[in-house]
Amino acid sequence: MQRLALLGHPVEHSHSPRLFAPLFDTDLLDWSYELIDIASPDAFRQQLAQPDFQGYNVTIPYKRLALELAHQASPRARRIGAANTLYRDSEGQWVAENTDYDGFLAQFNQGLLEWDFKPQLALVLGTGGSAQSVCTVLEDLHIPTLQVSRNPTGSQIAYSDLIEYTQAPCLMVNCTPVGMWPQTQASPLASLQGIGPTCALIDLIYNPAQTALMQQFEERGLWNRNGALMLKVQAKAAWEHFRRHTRLS
């Protein structure tokens, strides 16, 4: 049995096991997938020391730590500064990769087919590992980007100033866990009062399928999607690394 797992906190909401199960079946391989709630950085380190796991997906709040603790990292993961995938090399050491990049690029390209405008600006809510991946994709697409933070530093902006930046065609991306199950009534924005008429939303949350923030956009007739496509694409990309590099004994 080859063991994979999702590491993070919380993880009980995750759809990852149901995404990986058909991949295992297609390749006729004896693999398992587990959800492991990690309560602290020390617990994360201890989990990586377990010898009987061949790969991990990593979610909040450990994507930066995953990169830090890996023995090696891909150029992409280093550039982003975060990793959501860990697999073992031929010596059994952890290699960090970032497949969130693949997932968000697919999510953006799908949106581009449906929007009647191209965003002139992106507003990224949050400053964690997922936000770093999103900002890197947007940078490569040459879309000016502002990160929105509760405690802004440098070029970041505060939530209270966000609406004024939505008057030009823009894309808002929620990279925070606010609104994720089970706190489904929460939204990172108290109000969309004054939001521009050409502002679209990608909410990386996929459980629930429609977040409170998405409902706010829906009520104003603005385009919005959850992160389900990103989840599927990043999982498939991670699986390719697991399958290619895992030592089968």
Active-site option among 63, 118, 232, 236: 63
Number of helices (H) and strands (E), helices first, in the chain? Answer: 8, 12
What is the rounded distance in angstroms from the CA atom of residue 25 to the CA atom of residue 207?
25
Distance in angstroms (rounded) separating the CA atoms of residues 18 and 23 = 9
Q: Tell me whether residue 63 is one of the annotated catalytic residues.
A: yes
CB atoms within 10 A of CB 59: 24
Q: What long-range pairs does 76-82 form, CB within 8 A, spacing at least 24? A: 76/101, 79/136, 80/129, 80/132, 80/133, 80/136, 81/129, 81/132, 82/128, 82/129, 82/130, 82/132, 82/133
Coil vs helix vs strand at 152:
coil
> What Å distances lie between residue 227 and 50, 104, 171, 173, CA to CA?
31, 8, 14, 10
Helix axes 129-140, 100-114, angle to 10 degrees: 60
Q: Are 107 and 134 in contact (CB under 8 A)?
A: no
Active site residues: 63
